[in-house]
């Protein structure tokens, strides 16, 4: 292998030294291959630099004669477009331009040697004088003078331009002076050194080479935005870009391109000891960074300048175009406005003429009308006088009527007072009414009759001590029937001593009718209430039986506990006593426990009996706090079974009220059982809070739980009979509870949905004037 | 093995106390817990014993506790006591592995008999466990080669067959066999096979 490599090198070296001779000899059949080289330092320098590459390639690739053609940037474009050249060797900036415009493809990248180490990247350095203390960063360059090679030089300007652009500096606007000095770049360095310009940019190698040649001293300069890179041995200021590219063009033969690439890649070995030791080739690098820089700077293939487009014209002259159009618009509007005003003036002139004519006619008519008006006024005055006379008569009549009304008004007011009195029993109201009737009609006696079994019986009379009722023989009698549900239920009757009954005015008759109607209504209402009360107490009874049934199993469990304990204690004692040497004190203590458990069982049974024995319904002075405690005792078993914490917040100054305590107890029990059932669903600590409070008018009892609460549908139907959310239950509990509380003159309500959990409250009046007639 | 313990879990203090009194009268050791949670929080050593649970308790119910215990490897048989024996609950308890289901009020002799049965059940399963673990421990102490020999021995192979199957000399097989007998602490082939079987149970 080593041998083979050596042979290749040797033969290549031989052919290399033989190359000039062959080239001079010329090969008439050889095909000419032209390599276009970018030469911005002149054709002779380019030939000096690159001719050996062409010679080398002619040597390596038989049948082809390679030659170097030199171009500037514009000439290069033209040559490529006309396919005058087959390969290009150019800087990265020009390469990416040719790549975008003509589809050039790089096949190798130039590689340089520095102290024996190859590098394939290059960058530029941005310099200022070391004693120029005001310039330390790139942004400090704004407003300064700057020197570069040329606008199109990639290493000599565009690399630095990109870095300046990144720092927000536009070299064409922000510098006080921007000079393009051309080649050689050394002159830019010298210009900075001599203070001709404040700063400038050159290829990084140029600056380092001048230092090595001792033409300048490094400490005289400051490198702005300094960077170092292990792949590039020189200090630099810009990003690094790949070196010059050797590229094939679209029309270049693929095979030839491959041969060239292979030849170039082996180039360095062959020329290791030649004078061109600084040049070699490497695999093509990635030029996307150059593209990016051009894209950012909007130059090269990304330049949009030079083309005349509508957008471009607009961009440049839009202010003038807008101003011109605005001016034309204003003139048009003004003209239109003047024309319109003219037209309007003409028409209003015509109108004015018409109006003057009409006004003259109207004045003539007005004079005529004034004459007529005077006649009419005379006639009206006559009419008014007669009307006035009639009115005086009317006023007299009305005064009489008012007199009558005043007396009947007093009577009606009295009637209203009697019937609407609160806290007065029906009986007393009837008495007052009869007495009032006597006074009103100036009669001595009145009777209330009830129609039963085909006859009217007197059930009340006024004055009460009058022994005999129907004295039609000695006097007269008039009465009105009392109707209940359209049927004659009785009659009210007034009796006088004189033979001739007094004439009753229509007002009197109305009053009589009113009394009869009120009586009928009251009798009907009392009957209905009686029926409702019976119904309610039946329902309450049913509900109570239901509750007892539900509680029975809980009570059985509760009773089972002490019984089990008693059995265990006793059996344990027996077993110990059967042994020899029993521990008597321990046994005695166990027996003691056993007795205590028996008492606990007895207590449970007593409580049960109390609950069951409360059968009859009656109202008595009741302590609501006691009722609440009683209910809690009854439910103690369930409360502990579901581990519910009950918070009692009882107002100890609560007054006793007149109530049916069994019914109130039932309400509290219903609410508590609802809470217990709903609260079972939750996993966290279950809490029920019971609170009593009062003010001068009412007592309020509130049960609140932290259960899941009530949904909207349930809330709407909560108090409807037979609505239930429970698996077992008739859905009567809350509806009965509400009717019980309302019968006591209170209200049962549920908290609104905004509060978590659920709260029921009921109120009861403290002074029960509103007592239903339970005692009747 | 440790002394058996009866664990009583009941929320009612007097029932708990009276049960302790009754069960201690036959000389058993008793531990009481006021709730299932209290029991779960106490660390229980691997003594034989049993549990007496009230099925209805606040917090974790007796059935819940039993299902939880099934998932652990405490070999404690559970006797469920209830005042609410209903059929579904009894089925659920027995299905999830309750030892027995006793309804309140119960006959004290019946309860004590069932407690004793449960304890002896627990004792047996604990000692079977210990035996199995010991046999497994001995098998684990064998070298891979000895284990191969053991496998063939228990399959009824003679030394000669073993030697040919494992490609060993008869002498080597004999040495392995002697070593494994001593490691397994078996003085005869039947004793060895019994040990291996108990490990495989």
Q: Say yes or no for a CB contact (<8 Å) between B22 and A572.
A: yes
Query: Which residue would you say has higher pLDDT here, B29 or A271?
Result: B29
- A–B: how many Cβ contacts below 8 A? 68
CA angle A639, A645, A647 (to 5 degrees): 115
What is the pLDDT at residue A17? 42
Q: Is the pLDDT of residue B21 over 90?
A: yes
Q: Which of A197-201, A496-500, A688-692 has the lowest mean pLDDT?
A: A496-500
**CA–CA separation, A236 vs A229, rounded Å?**
9
Query: Cα distance from B106 to chain A (closest Cα, Å)?
Result: 8
Q: Which of B17, B59, B108 minimises the CB distance to A593?
A: B17
Buried b (16+ CB within 10 A) or exposed e, A200-221: bbbbbbbbbebbeeeebeeeeb
ipTM over 0.85: no
Q: Which of A553, A560, A572 minimises the CB distance to B104?
A: A560
What is the pLDDT at residue A16? 43
Q: Say yes or no for a CB contact (<8 Å) between A571 and B25.
A: yes
DSSP secondary structure string, A642-657?
A: TTEEEEEE--TTPPPE
**Pairing of β A455-462 and β A245-248:** unpaired
What is the pLDDT at residue A313? 73
Q: What is the mean pLDDT of residues A556-560?
A: 76
Residues of B in contact with A594 (CB under 8 A): 18
Query: Which residue would you say has higher pLDDT here, A168 or A26?
Result: A168
Instruction: Please check whether residue A231 is in contact with residue A202, taking contact to mean a CB–CB distance below 8 angstroms.
Output: no
Q: What is the mean pLDDT of residues A140-163?
A: 88
Query: Which residue would you say has higher pLDDT here, A702 or A97?
Result: A702
Instruction: Please check whether residue A68 is in contact with residue A50, taking contact to mean a CB–CB distance below 8 angstroms.
Output: yes
Q: What is the mean pLDDT of residues A366-378?
A: 82
What is the pLDDT at residue A14? 41
Q: What is the mean pLDDT of residues A177-181?
A: 87
Query: Cα distance from A636 to chain B (closest Cα, Å)?
Result: 13
What is the pLDDT at residue A730? 56
Question: Is residue A608 less than 8 Å (CB to CB) from chain B?
Answer: no
**CA–CA separation, B51 vs B143, rounded Å?**
43
Q: Say yes or no for a CB contact (<8 Å) between A568 and B108.
A: yes
The model's pLDDT over A283-341, given as tens digits with 9 standing for 90+, comes to 888 888 888 888 888 887 777 644 556 776 777 688 888 999 999 999 999 999 999 99
**CA–CA separation, A167 vs B97, rounded Å?**
80
As a whole number, the mean pLDDT across chain A is 80
Query: Cα distance from A557 to chain B (closest Cα, Å)?
Result: 6
Residue A641 confidence class, pLDDT cut points 50, 70, 90? confident
Q: Is the pLDDT of residue A1 over 60?
A: no
Six-digit token pair at A48? 């000096």
Buried b (16+ CB within 10 A) or exposed e, A122-133: bbbbbbbbeebe
Q: Say yes or no for a CB contact (<8 Å) between A568 and B12.
A: no
Query: Which residue would you say has higher pLDDT here, A422 or A171?
Result: A171
Q: Which of A563, A569, A641 minimises the CB distance to B58?
A: A641
The model's pLDDT over B86-104, given as tens digits with 9 standing for 90+, comes to 667 777 778 878 888 888 7
The model's pLDDT over A429-460, given as tens digits with 9 standing for 90+, comes to 888 888 888 877 777 788 888 888 777 778 77
Dihedral angle at the C-alpha atoms of A351, A355, A358, A362, nearest 10 degrees? 160
Residues of A in contact with B17 (CB under 8 A): 565, 593
The model's pLDDT over A104-143, given as tens digits with 9 standing for 90+, comes to 888 888 888 777 788 888 899 999 988 888 888 888 888 8
Six-digit token pair at A139? 């942004």
The position carrying tokens 């390969």 is A87
Residues of A in contact with B22 (CB under 8 A): 568-569, 571-572, 575
Give the C-alpha distances (Å, rounded to integers) separating A466 from A463, A523, A650. 6, 25, 57
Question: Is residue B86 less than 8 Å (CB to CB) from chain A?
Answer: no
The position carrying tokens 């966290």 is A684
Q: Which of A553, A590, A596 minimises the CB distance to B21?
A: A590
């Amino acid at each position: 292998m080593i041998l083979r490599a050596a042979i290749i090198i040797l033969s290549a070296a031989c052919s290399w030294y033989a190359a000039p001779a062959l080239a001079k000899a010329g090969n008439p059949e050889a095909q000419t291959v032209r390599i276009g080289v970018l030469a911005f330092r002149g054709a002779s320098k380019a030939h000096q630099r690159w001719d050996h590459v062409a010679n080398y390639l002619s040597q390596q690739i038989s049948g082809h004669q390679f030659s170097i053609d030199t171009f500037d940037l514009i000439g290069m474009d033209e040559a490529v477009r006309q396919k005058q050249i087959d390969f290009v060797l150019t800087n990265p900036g020009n390469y990416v331009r040719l790549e975008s415009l003509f589809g050039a493809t790089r096949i190798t990248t130039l590689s340089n040697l520095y102290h024996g180490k190859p590098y394939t990247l290059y960058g530029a350095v941005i310099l200022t004088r070391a004693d120029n203390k005001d310039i330390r960063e790139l942004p400090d360059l704004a407003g300064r003078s700057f020197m570069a090679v040329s606008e199109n030089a990639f290493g000599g300007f565009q690399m630095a331009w990109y870095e300046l652009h990144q720092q927000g500096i536009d070299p064409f606007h922000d510098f006080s002076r921007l000079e393009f000095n051309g080649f050689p770049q050394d002159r830019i360095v010298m210009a900075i050194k001599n203070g001709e310009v404040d700063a400038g940019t050159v290829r990084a190698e140029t600056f380092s080479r001048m230092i090595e040649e001792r033409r300048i001293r490094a400490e005289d300069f400051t490198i702005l935005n300094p960077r170092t890179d292990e792949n590039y041995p020189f200090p630099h200021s810009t990003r690094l870009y790949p070196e010059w590219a050797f590229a094939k063009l679209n029309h270049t033969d693929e095979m030839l391109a491959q041969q060239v690439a292979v030849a170039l890649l082996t180039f360095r070995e062959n020329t290791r000891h030649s004078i061109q030791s600084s040049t070699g080739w490497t695999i093509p690098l990635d030029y996307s960074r150059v593209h990016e820089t051009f894209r950012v700077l909007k130059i090269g293939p990304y330049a949009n300048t030079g083309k005349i487009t509508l957008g471009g014209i607009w961009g440049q002259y839009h202010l003038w175009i807008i101003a011109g159009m605005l001016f034309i618009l204003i003139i048009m509007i003004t003209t239109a406005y003047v024309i319109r005003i003219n037209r309007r003036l003409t028409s209003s002139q015509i109108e004015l003429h018409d109006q003057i004519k009409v006004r003259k006619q109207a004045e003539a008519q007005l004079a005529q009308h004034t004459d007529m008006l005077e006649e009419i006024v005379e006639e009206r005055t006559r009419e008014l006088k007669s009307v006035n006379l009639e009115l005086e008569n009317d006023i007299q009549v009305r005064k009489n009527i008012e007199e009558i009304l005043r007396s009947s008004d007093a009577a009606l007011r009295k009637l209203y007072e009697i019937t609407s009195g609160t806290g007065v029993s029906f009986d007393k109201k009837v008495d007052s009414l009869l007495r009032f009737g006597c006074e009103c009609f100036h009669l001595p006696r009145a009777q209330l009759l009830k129609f039963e079994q085909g006859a009217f019986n007197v059930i009340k009379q006024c004055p009460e001590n009058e022994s005999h009722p129907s004295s039609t023989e000695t006097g007269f009698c008039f009465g009105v029937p009392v109707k209940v549900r359209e049927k004659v239920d009785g009659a009210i009757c007034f009796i006088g001593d004189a033979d001739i009954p007094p004439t009753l005015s229509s007002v009197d008759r109305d009053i009589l009718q009113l009394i009869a109607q009120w009586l009928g209504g009251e009798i009907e209402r009392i009957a209905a209430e009686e029926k409702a009360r019976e119904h309610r107490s039946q329902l309450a009874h049913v509900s109570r039986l239901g509750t007892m049934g539900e509680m029975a199993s809980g009570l059985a469990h509760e009773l089972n506990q002490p019984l089990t304990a008693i059995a265990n204690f006793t059996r344990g004692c027996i077993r110990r006593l059967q042994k020899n040497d029993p521990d008597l004190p321990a046994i005695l203590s166990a027996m003691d426990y056993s007795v205590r458990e028996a008492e606990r069982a007895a207590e449970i049974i007593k409580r049960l009996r109390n609950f069951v024995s409360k059968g009859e319904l009656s109202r008595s002075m009741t302590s609501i706090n006691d009722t609440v405690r009683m209910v809690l005792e009854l439910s103690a078993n369930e409360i502990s079974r579901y581990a519910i914490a009950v918070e009692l917040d009882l107002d100890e100054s609560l007054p006793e009220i007149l109530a049916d305590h069994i019914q109130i107890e039932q309400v509290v029990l219903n609410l508590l059982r609802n809470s217990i059932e709903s609260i079972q669903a939750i996993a966290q600590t279950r809490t029920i809070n019971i609170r009593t409070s009062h003010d001068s008018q009412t007592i309020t009892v509130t049960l609140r739980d932290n259960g899941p609460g009530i949904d909207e549908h349930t809330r709407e139907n909560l108090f409807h009979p037979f609505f239930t959310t429970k698996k077992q239950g008739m859905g009567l509990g809350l509806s009965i509870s509400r009717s019980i509380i309302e019968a006591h003159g209170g209200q049962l309500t549920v908290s609104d949905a905004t509060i978590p959990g659920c709260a029921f409250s009921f109120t009861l009046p403290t002074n029960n004037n509103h007592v239903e007639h339970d005692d009747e | 093995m440790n002394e058996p313990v009866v664990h009583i879990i009941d929320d009612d203090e007097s029932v708990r106390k009276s049960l302790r009194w009754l069960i201690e009268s036959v000389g058993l050791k008793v531990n009481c817990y006021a709730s299932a949670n209290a029991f779960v929080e106490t660390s229980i050593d691997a003594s034989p014993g049993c549990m007496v649970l009230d099925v209805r308790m606040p917090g974790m119910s007796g059935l819940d506790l039993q299902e939880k215990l099934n998932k652990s490897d405490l070999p404690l048989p559970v006797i469920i006591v209830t005042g609410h024996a209903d059929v579904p609950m009894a089925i659920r308890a027995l299905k999830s592995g309750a030892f027995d289901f006793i309804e309140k009020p119960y006959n004290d002799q019946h309860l004590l008999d069932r407690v004793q049965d449960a304890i002896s059940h627990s004792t047996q399963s604990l000692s079977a466990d210990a035996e199995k673990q010991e046999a497994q421990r001995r098998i684990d102490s064998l070298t891979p080669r000895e284990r191969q020999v053991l496998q063939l021995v228990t399959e009824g192979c003679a030394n000669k067959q073993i030697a040919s199957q494992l490609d060993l000399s008869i002498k080597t097989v004999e040495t392995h066999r002697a070593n494994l007998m001593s490691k397994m602490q078996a003085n005869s082939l039947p004793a060895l096979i019994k040990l291996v079987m108990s490990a495989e149970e």
